[in-house]
Structure 1
Amino acid sequence: MVIGPQHLMLKQDNVNLQNLNICLGNYYVCLELVSINSFNSVSSNFILDKKIKTEFLSDFLDKILVDKNLYDKRIDDVTVHFDNELFSFVPNELFDENNKKEYLKYITEIKKDDFISHDSINELDIKNVFLPYVNINNLLINKFKEINYFHYNSALLKKLVNENSKYEEKESLFCSISYKKFKVVVFKKNRLVFFNCFNYENSTDILYFLLSVCQNIELNVNRINLNLILNYKVDNLTSELDCFFAKIRIIFNSNESDQNYIFT
């Protein structure tokens, strides 16, 4: 979704113009600055040992943007992805845009004045209804005038649908790992059948939850490919997983130039 005042005149040139992509969660901020002319990108990742409260996220992001001198650069487009658990997937046929609060009332406390948004994931015929961080949107609009914002899981699912189409597999298991949290996604016959987020402290936690998911939805660990998205490196992870999963495919491994899967 795009919010902010519309441009009233065309930009005269795009010399030195850059696009700014932001992923933001309660434990991290990931930035990507992309040159419009060269398409070269520079990524930065900022991790917090402790979960930051939502009301302090805008101050945290503001300090990062100041330290990186991003307010002084010529930024053409700003896109922010909110990586939180305040979301709900709703099939298109059940979605009522005038009743979005109903989809989140069992996930979090919804206040009367809360602003609720949604993304369309047309590849799966679903909507992702979510609570954006309004303080973040206000900060970025104040600084950059106009922004695009989405939920992180919407972008993730769109990419995974595309990734899944490359393989002729009836069942697909994806595990996307970030700092302190990871997500498990399962497709069967190109339909989304499972999506959940888990907290972890070490590689053994990740293994435990993955095996539990496989058991609950009857996935054979000796047959299925485990597709790993490593936004964050976890010690001993692949060696532990190798002991239980016969097939492991790493589809993304973060590095200095690409630090988050949805930026690729």
Structure 2
Amino acid sequence: MLILLETGQKSMMQQKKTNIQNTINNRLSVQISLNGLSFLVTNPASEEPVFFLENVLDHSTTPEELLMEIETIMFKNEILNTAFAEVSVVYSTPVYSLVPAPLFDETKASEYLKFNSKILANDYMAHDLVENQNIVVVYVPFMNINNFFFEKYGSFSYYHSVTVMLKTILEKENYSLPKIFLHFQKNSFDCIVLKNGELQLCNSYTYKTPEDFIYYTLFCMEQLHLDSDNIPVILCGEIEKEDDNFKIAYTYIRNLEFMDSNYTATRSLDNDRPHNHFILKNVI
């Protein structure tokens, strides 16, 4: 499927599905958010990490500033200037919406976003299908960055981080009772609630303090009539047992645990724990 990308006077044809000639065996995965960038090179045969770099930014940036950061990182790391068998880019942004696949109309993609997100008239709408789940994730990718990666590597795949999360979790979960997954990033977290192996809630929240985080979490539980003393809550991403977010969560939620290696496709990065860098380790 070919998609026309436009940025100012510039346009190109980009293939949404990966169709890269296998010049080498390694795979490149890039995670992009307004608060940071992560690069992971793996060997698909062994799932061993070959190269990993994480650049956490002190403040939120614009897509233009992010592109400058990407160019600087690539200039300093020669391995990122080689050819790859696969290239995948994941956007971790709060501008997304989930739509049941039978109700999805591609021509009305902007309609699904405009009521709960601020979008611009010239924003490009993309969507992912969470296979075997009848879920479509509609979101706004950064087209200047897409254009850059197209020029750099040719055809590549791109997704929203929620797509990666849902695909990974739903493929492994058939737990009949409700279960919550909380994925932490800098200044934001994603909340996914499952019951009978099916999705009940998927939402993202921006927070500044641990009190903000626990308020949103407990509010979700209250609205879904979930018991904070009994429901299993699985933690992943940027959170550790020593963190204030964990401590305040344990004050109100009794059944807390960290995500284990059964949920991750790639082995540890820089001696991290299985629950860290959850998105990057599970890029489709």
Q: TM class by shorter-chain length?
A: 0.7 to 0.9
- Indicate the residue corresponding to 2:81 in structure 1: 72
Point out where structure 2 has 5 or more consecutive residues left out of the alignment: 3-13, 262-267
- Report Cα offsets for 1:124-144 as digits up to 9, x if no partner: 312111111101111111111
Query: What's the TM-score once normalised by structure 2's chain length?
Result: 0.81
Greater CA drift, 63-72 or 20-29: 63-72
Shift of 1:210: 1.3
Distance 1:18 1:175, change over 3 A: same
Shift of 1:71: 4.0
Residues 1:92 and 2:101 are matched in the alignment: yes
- Report Cα offsets for 1:16-35 as digits up to 9, x if no partner: x3211011010011111112
Aligned residues: 258
* Separation in 2, partners of 1:83, 1:199: 12
Instruction: After the TM superposition, list the runs of 4 or more consecutive aligned residues in structure 1 that deviate by more than 6 angstroms.
Output: 5-9
Residue aligned with 1:57, SS: helix
* Separation in 2, partners of 1:170, 1:250: 18
Is this contact kept in 2: 1:164–1:172, CA < 8 A?
no
- Indicate the residue corresponding to 1:228 in structure 2: 235
Is this contact kept in 2: 1:172–1:187, CA < 8 A?
yes
Greater CA drift, 183-192 or 253-262: 253-262
Is this contact kept in 2: 1:203–1:235, CA < 8 A?
no
Residues 1:246 and 2:263 are matched in the alignment: no
* Separation in 2, partners of 1:123, 1:130: 20
- Indicate the residue corresponding to 2:118 in structure 1: 108
- Indicate the residue corresponding to 2:224 in structure 1: 217
Query: What's the TM-score once normalised by structure 1's chain length?
Result: 0.87
- Indicate the residue corresponding to 1:133 in structure 2: 142
- Indicate the residue corresponding to 2:9 in structure 1: none
Distance 1:200 1:5, change over 3 A: closer
Is this contact kept in 1: 2:179–2:231, CA < 8 A?
yes
Shift of 1:188: 2.3
Is this contact kept in 2: 1:19–1:77, CA < 8 A?
yes
- Indicate the residue corresponding to 1:32 in structure 2: 40
Is this contact kept in 1: 2:64–2:144, CA < 8 A?
yes
Q: 1:180 aligns with which of 187, 196, 201?
A: 187
Residues 1:50 and 2:59 are matched in the alignment: yes
* Separation in 1, partners of 2:150, 2:84: 12
- Report Cα offsets for 1:206-264 as digits up to 9, x if no partner: 22221121112211011100111133547233333222212112105985256521314
Residue aligned with 1:22, SS: strand
Shift of 1:120: 0.5
Same amino acid, percent of matched pairs: 21
* Separation in 1, partners of 2:164, 2:97: 14
Q: 1:196 aligns with which of 203, 211, 216?
A: 203
Shift of 1:174: 0.9
Is this contact kept in 2: 1:179–1:232, CA < 8 A?
no
* Separation in 1, partners of 2:254, 2:179: 14
* Separation in 2, partners of 1:127, 1:257: 34
* Separation in 2, partners of 1:191, 1:58: 37
Is this contact kept in 1: 2:130–2:163, CA < 8 A?
yes
Greater CA drift, 182-191 or 135-144: 182-191
